[in-house]
Structure 1
Amino acid sequence: MSHLNDTTEHAGYAYYGSGLPNLAPPSSEAPKPPKRARAVAALGFSQAVDNSESGLTKTFFPLIAAAFGLGYTQLGIFSAIPMFARMIFGPTWAIAADRFGRKRVLVLVTGVWGLWTVACGFAPNYTVLVVLFAISAVGTVASEPVLNGMLPDLFKQSERGKAYGMVRGIGGGVGIIIGPAIGLFGNDPEGWRYALWTMGAISIVSGVLILLWVPRPAVTSVSVTDDPESGTFRFRDVGQLFRIPTIWMIVIMLPFITSLILLSFYTQFLVDVRGMKVPEAAVVMAVFSLGSMFSAFLGGFLGDLVTARFGHKGRIMLMQVYLVCFAATIYVATQIDSTNRVFIYVATFVMGLVFSIGFSGCVLPIVSTVVPKKLGASAFAFLFSFVQGGITAILSINIGVIADVFGDLQVTFLWFCVVPYLINAVIWCGFYVVYPRDAARQADRERVEAEALAIAQEGEGNTGN
């Protein structure tokens, strides 16, 4: 998992192509509040469903492994597939949504595409399951980029922050409920099939809700040609990003952010090492999700606090503290041998509570501070979808193989989760050199651009007179 984000998948730290919101003028034909409330509910529900679909194979891998005689290597493959799909098809779906209509595409990938998840439940062997799951993942990764582009069409500028917050809140809340509920199928050896059938059916229902509740966009997004500051993903922008030293440092540190790998294997760890059944492991993961919801808000608050106190160096200091603390929480949650349920639940919640602080409070604000606005979408998509997504996918496959060699997830977590975070705390010393300087340069550029715009507007006013 992401810090791709967290995706939300805990993460929600992946940003995709032209699916990022464009500025749009207010419309007198905006949908009435009740209709918009239903639209937000449908969109939040769809996001939760798609995130839950992509994580089903990890939740139920103990049963799938028993059914087909699989090991950690195959779990790594299942974990990598959504990452590769996110890299390749996230921007593709966003572009398709801009071309053919966001609502149509969202109904397709959330509703109709649920049939592929249903088909996964009928897989007679591992090979067929992987193929069907890969096709299913192509659709489940489309929800966020398309949704991010749809909300600006439904809400005027002053209402968008609340709209995004409500969608993420609904999605997170529904996800916390769906996980343990679907996990109850884990009491049956064939429960993974029932889970896939159920999730596919819920996905189809989600598509119907979008079809019925989400109105046609009342606002036409501003195109890049009309507004050069409205960011869309462009491959040609990547070269410009590497003129910024802080971006180089972000790329260097990303391979040492291994939390998504931890989350990919954590359910299996709870079963193999902690002796839990799948239904209870699903509840533990819901506890982690609950902690991570608070973590995102906590990170934003702490990031602003240390910046006000220490300037640009504040976020670097916070990131280093976070990296050490998260390494410590991983160590406690995975290296201390205990089957005490209170310990497991508390340790997992604390791990979730620390989980998002670094990205929400440090990494994402740092990137947005040093990158020009017109390159913002390209920066987030390149760093956290292409680079981090690719790294995580490759690591997931290799760590699955390594875990099979060690035959022990505890050792794997120690060397590939705890240690990398401690190394990263040292790497972040380099940001003290480049980040304050890059932030100052970007502030100077924005000041010059603002002054030039003010002069141009003044000249137009004088001409009019």
Structure 2
Amino acid sequence: MSRTQPHEQTQQRNDRQTHDEKPLDTGVFAWLRALGPRGRRAFAGAFGGYALDSYDFFTLPLSMVAIAAYFALDKGQTGLLTTVTLVVSAIGGALAGVLADRIGRVKALMITVATYAFFTVLCGFAPNYETLLVFRALQGLGFGGEWAVGAILVAEYASAKHRGRTLGGVQSAWAAGWALAVIVYTLVFRFVDADTAWRVMFWTGALPALLVVYVRRNVEDAPQAAEVRRTGAGRGSFTTVLTPPLLRTTLFAVLLSTGVQGGYYTLATWVPTFLKTERGLTVVGTGGYLTFLISGAFLGYLTGGLLTDLLGRKRNIALFAVLSAVCILVYTHVPEGANTLILFLGFPLGFCMSAIFSGFGSFLAELYPTAARGTGQGFTYNTGRAVGAVFPTLVGFLAESWGVGGALVFGAVGYALAVLALLGLPETRGRELV
């Protein structure tokens, strides 16, 4: 018997304990304990990456009024800034998924974070609208890939029983990054002239560079994914997910992503403008109203993560698709002068439109085998994001005649598409990743 065998046996027992949830299956944070030490470091890296991804994204919607005034843009042009980000993010997300299968989840995560941080900073130096449009499009390359790669990384550490709430925890990072962006925005626009403040907002997008250092030093791929890549099974190919037997799954997953993200990005892009231009709120007032929206979003992510484990992936998405559509209709039809009511309605709106996302990370991961998981999740989520990106631009053009509030109702159409897409997808709750 070799000297290394006792050590190997001990390591194997430790690895089994890392993924064995039975001794840790109690308490509110059982899902976090069940990840094990390496899984928790992966969770921290994915959470931080997605929070800063959110922060960099929201630098644009929050600064949109100032940017439009600086470059003398109409609503269609300002909406195009968001749309081009989301369209290009489809390319970035799809490529990141392939990279995740070919070079590993962690390396792909670092590449995506560095990319979106770099081009966000460059946006702050844009001398004209055309240059800003190009930089924002290139920012989408990293923005599109980060979520898919981070979600896969954590999903492969999580147990089947807790996967929904674990990925819901990662998803809640979006609200954390959004909140941070609103805080910085409120301070910057209070103390800096608007013509410079929007540039400062983009320059603060350099923050994610610090996360890359953490991920490089502390995070590694889950053993199963690393083994698949070592054996050469994880080559990362679009052909795999666009031909039978995965073709049907891919098509319906794209439709699902299109509907949910079309509705979400319509709201994320235009609610700040709606509050300012049609409700007459100040910068500080807008920040206060967004506090309710973001608080609801954070709790929605966590609650949705729990419900996706209890009710199932499909039921959770269907439930909150319907509730999100109802919230849009109510939120945008509050009578003039009832701004206090809008303040409180922001909470359920943020809750519902966020809870629907909580099951996405686990659902998409469970639809694909390990060798094609990065490609499948990256392609479906981000293709849906690109098609759904048409919604903010349509709202921008419709707002010229309907008003921003009236045009926002178009976002409810996206949620109807999501419900239809669920009819073509299987329920995956409790499915082991293979």
Q: Which residue of 2 aligns with 1:210?
A: 215
- 2:240 is the alignment partner of 1:240: no
Structure showing greater radius of gyration is 1
User: CA 1:397 to 1:45, structure 2 compared with 1: closer, same or farther past 3 Å?
Assistant: same
Structure 1: 5+ residue stretches without partners: 1-23, 447-465
Residue of 374, 379, 403 corresponding to 1:408: 403
Deviates more, 1:160-169 or 1:67-76: 160-169
Separation in structure 1 between the aligned mates of residue 252 and residue 122 of structure 2, nearest angstrom: 43
Q: Would the aligned equivalents of 1:323 and 1:424 in 2 still touch at CA under 8 Å?
A: no
Q: Percent identity?
A: 19
Note the aligned Cα RMSD (angstroms).
4.6
Find the aligned partners of 1:345 and 1:136 in 2 and give their Cα distance: 32
The residue type paired with residue 315 of structure 1 is R
User: Per-residue displacement from partner, 1:217-252 (whole Å, max 9, x unpaired)?
Assistant: 584613279698x89664343343688599669849
Matches within 5 A, 1:282-431: 282-299=287-304, 315=315, 319=318, 322-358=320-356, 360=358, 380-386=377-383, 388-404=384-400, 406=401, 408-414=403-409, 416-418=410-412, 420=413, 428=420
Other-structure match for 1:199: 205
Give a deviation string over 1:91-125, Cα, whole Å, max 9, x none.
Answer: 21233355455545444442475333222112121
Please, what TM-score do these two structures have when normalized by structure 1?
0.68
Structure 1 position 334, deviation (Å):
1.2
The 3-state SS of whatever aligns with 1:269 is helix
> Does the CA contact (< 8 Å) of 2:75 and 2:399 recur in 1?
yes
- Partners of 1:156 and 1:214 in 2: how far apart? 18
CA distance in 2, matches of 1:235, 1:77: 31
Gaps of 5+ in 2: 1-11, 19-34
Total equivalences in the alignment: 396
Alignment of 1:50-449 (within 5 A): 50-100=53-103, 102-111=105-114, 114-151=117-154, 161=163, 164=167, 167-169=170-172, 172-187=175-190, 188-189=193-194, 190-200=196-206, 202-211=207-216, 213-215=217-219, 219=223, 221-223=226-228, 234-240=238-244, 251=255, 254=258, 258-299=263-304, 315=315, 319=318, 322-358=320-356, 360=358, 380-386=377-383, 388-404=384-400, 406=401, 408-414=403-409, 416-418=410-412, 420=413, 428=420
- In the alignment, is the contact (CA less than 8 A) between 1:45 and 1:171 conserved in 2? no
Task: Kindly provide the CA deviation profile for residues 290-334 of structure 1, in whole angstroms up to 9, marking residues without a partner as x.
Answer: 212333444455567667xxxx9x939x83x65553333212211
Give the corresponding residue for 2:30.
none
The Cα of 1:128 is off from its aligned counterpart by: 1.3
Letter in 2 for 1:333: Y
Q: Quick check: 1:103–1:210 contact (8 Å CA) kept in 2?
A: yes
- Please report how far the alpha carbon of residue 269 of structure 1 lies from its aligned counterpart in structure 2 after TM superposition: 0.7
Aligned 8 A contact 2:116 2:141 in 1: no
Change (3 A) 1:297 1:125: same
Letter paired with 2:268: L
